[in-house]
Structure 1
């Protein structure tokens, strides 16, 4: 397996019975008004990560339920940024967050975040099902912040022992430029 490229290693990757999607839509306060449209037009069988950090309590749960109905109808994976217990209670298929907060709940997909090689090692130890490596390109989420760039992204991604999903400034054009099998976006898909 070591001789295969990352793209070849993880194209069609199956984790816990799921083939990991190529496109991942992440929610944010700034794309909230467009999410119904974005989920309905995202090609069937991709994934949605519900973050909605701007909402709390019952309002967050209500919005999750609204968007889950649309995501489920389109065959998208529904992933919650939060703890495993909440994900199970709300009916999410997985969780998203820092590697140290993923827990190990049977039946839940676990997706970690990473920004450098040190964090990739933490994700490897956590044995996550996938990792979001970011920011690849300049992004509105962190204006003026440093980004990995294509070559640094590839170098760090090569250290991962699970599928890597490119995040940060991604859109269809940049995904083609990067030539990476899986990518995620907030603005670039909504």
Structure 2
């Protein structure tokens, strides 16, 4: 596992943000990301043609704004690729010629450690707090998040129900940064 410089602030995209029209929430969220932040491109449910068109537009936007753009496990990018927890069994280790960051999702300590053993540069640990993306899913909360993040072998990014104040609360507990969807849209 290599330790690349990793962004500490991330936007996860999904279909709710749209992106095919200039007034879709995705573009406002991207404009709120500070230079040097990261984007995990998902939009898993979109047809391939629309997904490719949006991805091309995002690549251009990311280059202009100096943002790291990460693709999914099936569509890696020069910026890297993201492995959802359910897909990690298909990608046990980093390919030696892979470029960019390898990120992975985790929802418990076992998945967190598996992600780092697979070569992930960082882990998105979720849900840190209750989230509108997964209503009813049990949240880790600060104590459990901290127990997992503090002794992790690499950077752990908090995901799920994040706000700036919650990010400040998790930082001393081991969070290397935070990620979200709604936190970049709602103001």
Q: TM-score, normalised by structure 2?
A: 0.84
Q: Is the 8 A contact 1:112 1:123 kept in 2?
A: yes
Residue matched to 1:38? 29
1:100 aligns with 2:86: no
- How far apart are the structure 2 equivalents of 1:109 and 1:61? 20
Q: 1:65 aligns with which of 56, 73, 89?
A: 56
List alignment gaps of at least 5 residues for structure 1. 1-13
C-alpha distance in structure 2 between counterparts of 1:41 and 1:125, whole Å: 33
Q: How well do the aligned residues superpose, as a CA RMSD in angstroms?
A: 1.7
What TM-score comes out, normalization by structure 1 length? 0.82
Deviations 1:85-123 (A, max 9, x none): x32xxx441111133344523223110110001112211
Distance 1:15 1:121 in 2: 16
Aligned to 1:185: 180
Residues matched between the structures, number: 170
The secondary structure found in structure 2 opposite 1:174 is: helix
Instruction: Give the secondary structure class of the aligned counterpart of 2:28.
Output: helix
User: Which of 26, 32, 43 in structure 2 is aligned with 1:52?
Assistant: 43
- Secondary structure of the residue aligned to 1:37 is helix
List alignment gaps of at least 5 residues for structure 2: 19-23
SS at match of 2:71: strand
The separation in 2 between residues aligned to 1:56 and 1:41, in whole angstroms, is 27
Contact 1:48-1:79 within 8 A present in 2 as well: yes
Q: Give 1:6's aligned residue.
A: none
What's 1:15 paired with? Answer: 3
Aligned partners of 1:39, 1:130: CA distance in 2, in Å?
21
Partners of 2:150 and 2:89 in 1: CA distance:
21
Instruction: Give the CA deviation at 1:159.
Output: 4.1
Q: Once the two structures are superposed, what CA deviation does each residue of 1:162-187 show, in whole Å capped at 9, x if it has no partner?
A: 11000000121211222233100010
For residues 81 and 131 of structure 1, what CA distance do their matches in structure 2 show? 14
